[in-house]
Every structure is written in C-alpha cells, then in structure tokens.
Structure 1
Amino acid sequence: MTPPRARRRVRRHPARLSLLLGVVMLSIALLGVVAVGAPTYAAGDRTVQGTLRNSADNNAPVAGVKINVQTSTGKTYTGASNDQGRFAITVPGSDSGTLAVILDTKTLPDAVQIRDGASNTLRPTGTLSTITVNFPLGPDTRQVSTVWDQVPQLLYNGLLFGLVLSLGALGLSMVFGTTGLSNFSHGELVTFGAFATYLGNRVVGLPIAVAVAVAVALSALFGFLNEKGLWSPLRRRGTGLIAMMIVSIGLQFLLRNVYQYFSGGRALTYREYVTPAGRDAFGLFTYTNRDVVIISISGLALVAVTLALQYTRLGRATRAVSDNPALASATGINVGRVITTVWIAGTALAGLSGAFLGFSQSVTYQLGAQVLLLVFAATCVGGLGSVWGAMIGSIIIGLFVETSTLVIPSELKFAGAMVLLVLVLLVRPQGLLGRAERIG
C-alpha cells in the first residue's frame, strides 16, 4: 500500500523574497525615470510663488514689487510681494500651457535692481502644481564651493531623511515579520499621515504639534480598521501571501485615487514651519529648529519601539510570533491580538513619517508612492523582518540618496538607491541583518 504523500510545508524565505522584490523595484524605478521624460501639465490650479530679497541689504525682503504671469493663451495674472518679500499668483487650471513670469522693474524700490546678467522674465518648466521662481536682486555675494564643501550638508540631509524614512520602514518590517505580508499599500499609509496633519493644521486650525499628534492617532485607528476589515478576514479564509500581496497593490491604487480626488492633485503645505530660517553649524552645514525637532522625535520613537520589543511582555510575544506563529499560539500567545497591535503601531509610525515628510516634500497624493520603493529598499537592505535592519537600512539609503548627487543628477538619486539595493542583495540576499535560511 502506497503511503500518502506528505504535505509540503510552506516556508517563508526572506532572502529569496528580498532578491525578487529588489529586481521588481529596480524595474519600476527605471520605468518611472523614463516616464519623467514626457511632461504633462498638472491638473487643477497652478501657483507661481517666490521670495524677493536684496543681497545688497543683507538679504532684506523687498515688498511691493509687481509680478505678472502671462500664459500661452494671452491672459495675464498679477500679484505683488508682501512685507516678507513673498508672492504667490494662482493660474486657473482652465488656463493651461506654458507660463512667462515677469518682474516689473519699474516697481522696484530705489537702489534695488536686477542682478547683472539676470533677466526679469522667467519661463519655468515642469509639471508641478506649485512653481517656485527666483529673481536675484542686488550684487552676487555667493561664495563658490567645491564638491567637498557640500559633503557635510549632504550627510546631514541624508541622516535627516534616513531617520524619517526609518519610521515608515520599521512599520513595514514589523508587519512583514509577523504576517509575512509584503504590503505595497504601505506608502498610502504614509500619505494618510501627511493629509491628516494638513487637515488638522490648515482646515481645523490646530497647532502643528497637536495636528501631528492627532494624525498619528488617526493613522493608528486607520491601521486597526485595515487589519480588522481586510487582512484578518483574508487570513481566516486561508488566503495565500501572494494573493494578499496583490490585494495590497489594489488597495494602494484605490487609496491613491481617493487622495487625488479629494486633494485635486494639488501640492499642499502646512500653515507653520514650512520654510523656517536656517542656522549655521560650525560653518559645515545649515540646519533648522524644525529639523532638530524631527530628528529628536524620530529618534525617540525608534528607541521606544526597539526597547518595547526587547523588554516588554508584548514585545517578546511579537518576536515569538515573528519567529514561529504556530509555536507561539501553542504556548498560549494570542497571535491575532499581537498582529493587530503590530498593525496599529506600524501604521502610527507610517503616519508620523508622512507628517514629517509633508514639511520638506509638500502634501500630495503621490507622497507615499514616491517613498514606497525607498521604504522597501531600506527593509530589504537591512533584512526583511528585522527591526534593527529596517533602521540601519533606512539610514544607509538616506545617506546614499543624498550623497549620490555629488556624482549623478539629483533626478536619478532614487534610481541610484535601487541599484544599491540590488548590489547588496547580490552579495547578501538576506540583507545586512537578515538570517540566512537553507532552501530545499
């Protein structure tokens, strides 16, 4: 009598999955770079903005200067700089086409003039809904810097970006560690945090600190609803990880289109601390008080999560579920409750990451999509399912993205991060801190 065939045990192999995800993300990134070459004008209103400062008077703001924006249809929209030297002119979305931004030199104050060699007419290009232009006034007082002079500033920018990125990567890595799900809708959770902060700050009128705190709480609630309404029922039905990954891709596009519908495709900004004054740090780089707060909060959040995972009862239960869910359940651990808690914490961290990214990159429906590949790259470089790996991978990706602009165009810096991902996985498929497993 032929014995029954033993059922094959399904195992997750982070090393193989990391390599596969790396190749897929590199392909997507390269396709995105190619797509950039075909510009189309953004739907909705466009805003032309800028700040006028006189370099001859210690960069003092210049007020009352008339700015005209002419469109290819022949219409002209006019504005003037305020007491801070800022101007913002809105061009209706119905008036599409190229723009010509003209500074009326007759309205310049006495002894203030356009810099020699500069023009009072600018023709900006691009597809953004917010267009920033610069009219240099007064003599050129800039100092010529070498490549090495830029390194400290780029390292600082990379550390700042890496810490913010690690908040999103940590949430993604925790979800993967406990469920095995590669959640491609994680970027939209980042976008949710940015939009929640914008609504709290701009619409409701909350102080920015309170708005960020409320956004984190709403993000945690959003993660809870995601888990209870979608992912938990799918797991109970025995849905495979590949099918659930495809569901996450569909959820990604659904949420992104919802954000686009309600925001109109515009680039939105918070009411406070969008362009804070910079401070010099020993002549090496420039920083702002806002950056210091972001770095401090990000660092505290990361330390708190890692300490909780290491020393609390819930943290030990989470690590047990991540290592072997069946054995954890057999020892009395409520696996479902642990996974729900991980979803709440992971989406809260993603929301905090989105709130911070909204300061530097504006709040758009594409915010999460722009950093999703970098979040995946960070988790794969560090090691899928590894908390420390997600943080270290994020710092590496952040530093590489910023410093790579020394040798490649800034438009390609994100694609460069994908190349770094593939190179790391070719040498160490399980990531820097991932565990190697025997396959076969």
Structure 2
Amino acid sequence: MHRGFARLLLALLGLVIGAVALTGVAQAAGPAIIAVVTDANKAPIAGVTVTVTGPDGFTGTGETGADGTATIEVPKSGKYVITLDESTIPGGAAVKDGPERTANVLSGNKKILFPVGVPDDGGGGGDSGGAGGITLDRVLQLILDGVVLSLIIALGALGLNLIFGTTGLSNFAHGELLTLGAFTAFVLNVWWGIDLLIAAPIAIALSGLLWGWGQNQILWKPLRKRGTGLIAAMIVSIGLAIALRYTILFIFGGTPKSYAQFAGQPGLELGPIFITPKAIVLSIIAIIVLVATILWLKSSRIGKATRAVSDNPALASASGVNVERVISVVWVVGAILAAYAGIFLGVTQNVVWTMGQFLLLTMFAAIVLGGLGTISGAIVGSFVVGITVQLSTLIVPTELKTGAALLLMIVLLLVRPQGLLGRPERVG
C-alpha cells in the first residue's frame, strides 16, 4: 500500500477511536454548572470569572470563553452559590439582578444566566446570525480567541508530530502529556505552595524528564527493540492514555481546579476585543517557544539529526546518527512542549483531568491538515483548526465547534491528500 496513504488511514482511524473515547469521557462526566454571560444584545462575553461554592467546602472557578460560557464541574448534587466577578466584565458593566445566583443541582448540567448591561437603542436591527448575531466585534473577538487556542494546539501538535516523524507512532497518550504537565505544576503550586512563576518552569523540566524521557525508556524503547508494529504500538498508546487519564482522576478528582495565582484577572479592552494580561503573556511565550523549536530543528546538530531520522531512519543510522538518542531527545522536547501547553490551558481556563483528551482530536486534525511529518505544517494546521473552531460558533452550536474543524480537514484532504504543506509521494 502507498506509504503516505497508509499513514493517512492510520491517522483517520485514530481520529475515529479518539472520538469514541471522547464521547465516553463526556458521558462519564459528573454534574456541572454552566454559567452563561451575555451582554444586553445577547452577545457572549469572554474572559469573565465565575466562582461556584457548595457543600463540604467545595469551591470551583471558571472563566468564560468566546461563547460566553464557563463550565464548572461539581462533585455531587446539592445547593450551590454561583458568583460572577463584576470587576472582570469589560467596560465595568453590572450584572442585571446582581452578580450572585443560587442553584439546586440534581443531576446533569445546570445552566445559569448572567445578563449584563442595558440594551442598545434599536438593538434589534443588524445581523442576526449565530448566538447574539454576527457582528464585526464578535468576529474579531473570536479570531483572537482562535489565535490563543491555536497556540495551545500548536505546542501540543508540534511535539506529537516530532514523535510521529521519528518513530512513526500515532501517540494517543500525547494528550495526557498536557494533563500531566498541568497537574505537575498544580502539585508544586497549590499543594507545595511554590509560586506559579517558579513552579511552572520546574514542572516543565520535570515533565521532560519523567513523562518524556522516562516514558520512552520504560515503554517505547523496549517495544521498538522487540519490533512491535505501528498498529500494535498505537493500541498500546490508547491503553496508556486511558490508564493515565483515570489515574489522574483517582488522585485529583474530577472537579476543575485553578492555580493559586492568576485564577481571576481583570481583562483588557483593546478596541473592540477583550483579552486578559495572562493570555497575552502566555501567548508571547508560546510564540517564542515555537520559533525557538523551529530554529533548533533547522540550525542545531541534534535538530538536523532529528530531521534526518524523520526523512529516513535507516539512512541516518548508516550515516552515523544515533537514532535512539535522537528519539529520546524528541520525547523530551515533545513532553516539554506539551507541558507548557497544559499549563497555558490551565492558567487561562481550568486544570481538569480531561483537558488533554479534549485537545487530542484538534492536535491530530492539525498535523493531518498541515501535512503528516512536516513541522511547519503542524503549526499552520494548528492555526487553521484553532481559528476555525472558534469562528464556527457564529453559525453552529458551541457543542459542534470541534466538528467544524474536522469537517474542514476531511474536505481539504479530499482535494489535497498530503495536507497543506505535505509533499506528494510518488508511486512506482
């Protein structure tokens, strides 16, 4: 079978398996409170902090996304108090009927509405598509939110693509590297009391050592030496992902958690768009990390060796490249990138046991869309996926926004099977 087509089938098979796993996780999730924050014209408001308190001293915090919703899982049924932090509302507007709500959660999800401000005169006119209508301000806000999401996806997808390029492994446990990185920082920050600015770099370094190098040495290197096939290795990665995910659930519980610092932060209004300072700083660092990784791959000796192994492992080995050493380095780099992506997501949203699994499909979509095995393709694909996911909420329900990116991937692959930046392979 054509090598490129076989890889494509493998990736698409993985997407299907991942979707099934994701559905199972969603069904297994406990009750949750969904806070919906909208302005007077029914348009969603992003970046607003919501706190939930309840039985047994429970406290959960969330921040509204581009769709104006913040989801906070609660441990059990009972009476909960939901409080909106009015200082985080753009423009200093007030919440109609006050910022506090009380809700009795029995089972499933409980939606709580927080209407903000006073309607504009004649607000009924204009475009009416999507939630709150399609306006230029909303489009710009969604594009900005899409860029932030794209950076998180790109950090994870770049490491996933490096591992795929050097080993051929479609690693379905890569999402758990994000989760492990985020929870490693959580332990250092919340349990041990280390400031997040110090805990985050330590967690990233530990993730590279333990979850990257250690995982490769203990599991993947022995499997490679035994000649385990790629399909079997992919199935092993699915099992590993499930085991890690539920181990994290057992240790930390299913309630979303926040870091001790930067949990609630007033946003900045930049013209028609709104963003928090923490998202700006984390995005700038992410861009620097991505650029540094690309320069490392292109300029450093080990980076060039990594590209050689990705192109042809046998030829690279015959040329004197230590293939196993390169693979070990790639695992470390992949885990470091994933850990930062997890911390990025945890700071801007919440730290929760399913966070990596929810991003896994978008990471796979990004690398398939950009071109399997291509570094620049993974980044370009991440931006296409991230922005598409957010903009799709203009016309489809929020629950279907990831499906819009996957649909785009399928359509593009029908036209260009090698992806946006992939090279077509010759047959014969």
- Common fold by TM > 0.5: yes
The residue correspondences of 1:178-217 to structure 2 (distance < 5 A) are 178-217=166-205
Shift of 1:361: 3.2
Q: Which residue of 1 aligns with 2:378?
A: 390
Bigger radius of gyration among the two: 1
Superposition deviation, residue 41 in structure 1: 3.5
TM-score, with length taken from structure 1? 0.77
Confirm or deny that 1:275 pairs with 2:267: no
Other-structure match for 1:228: 217
Partners of 2:118 and 2:232 in 1: how far apart?
59
Question: Is the counterpart of residue 22 in structure 1 residue 12 in structure 2?
Answer: yes
Helix, strand or coil at the partner of 1:362 = coil
**Cross-structure match for 2:344:** 356
Q: RMSD between aligned alpha carbons?
A: 3.5
Aligned residue in 1 for 2:291: 303
Residue 141 of structure 1, aligned match among 114, 118, 132:
118
SS in 1 for 2:333: helix
Give 5+ residue unaligned stretches, structure 2. 38-51, 60-71, 84-93, 124-131
Aligned with residue 151 of structure 1, among 139, 145, 153: 139
CA distance in 2, matches of 1:14, 1:141: 56
Report how many aligned residue pairs link the two structures: 380
Alignment pair present for 1:285 and 2:260: no
Matched residue of 2:274: which SS? Answer: strand
Structure 1 residue 120: Cα displacement: 6.4
Indicate conservation of the 8 Å contact 1:152/1:284, yes or no.
yes
CA spacing shift, 1:356–1:423, aligned 2, 3 Å: same
TM-superposed CA distance for 1:210, in Å, is 1.3
* Unpaired segments ≥5 residues, structure 1: 1-10, 52-66, 70-75, 81-89, 104-112
Question: Is the CA contact (8 Å cut-off) linking 1:114 and 1:135 kept in structure 2?
Answer: yes
Structure 2 counterparts to residues 8-407 of structure 1, below 5 A: 13-22=3-12, 24-25=14-15, 28-29=18-19, 41-42=30-31, 93=75, 96-97=76-77, 99=79, 115=96, 122=103, 127=108, 133=112, 140-141=117-118, 143=120, 146-148=133-135, 149-221=137-209, 222-281=211-270, 283-407=271-395
**CA distance 1:133–1:314, change in 2 (3 Å):** same
Q: Distance in 2 between matches of 1:331 and 1:347?
A: 28
Which deviations, in whole Å up to 9, do the C-alpha atoms of 1:127-162 show, x marking residues without a partner?
Answer: 57xx885666xx833555741220000000000110
Cα deviations across residues 406-428 of structure 1 (Å, max 9, x unaligned)? 00001111122211121121111
Secondary structure of the corresponding residue to residue 376 of structure 2: helix
In structure 2, distance between residues paired with 1:438 and 1:336: 29
TM-score normalised according to structure 2 size: 0.79
Whole-angstrom CA distance in 1 between matches of 2:201 and 2:99: 45
Letter matched to residue 249 of structure 1: I
Secondary structure of the structure 2 residue equivalent to 1:280: strand
Query: What is the CA distance between 1:291 and its match in structure 2?
Result: 1.1
**Alpha-carbon distance in structure 2 between the residues aligned to 1:179 and 1:102:** 48
Cα offsets for 1:15-48 (capped at 9, x unmatched)? 4422442365257537856986x68644xxx899
Do the aligned residues in 1 keep the contact of 2:156 with 2:363 (CA within 8 Å)? yes
Q: State the percentage of identical aligned residues.
A: 41
Distance in 1, Cα, partners of 2:284 & 2:188: 22
Q: Within 2, Cα distance between the matches of 1:292 and 1:114?
A: 26
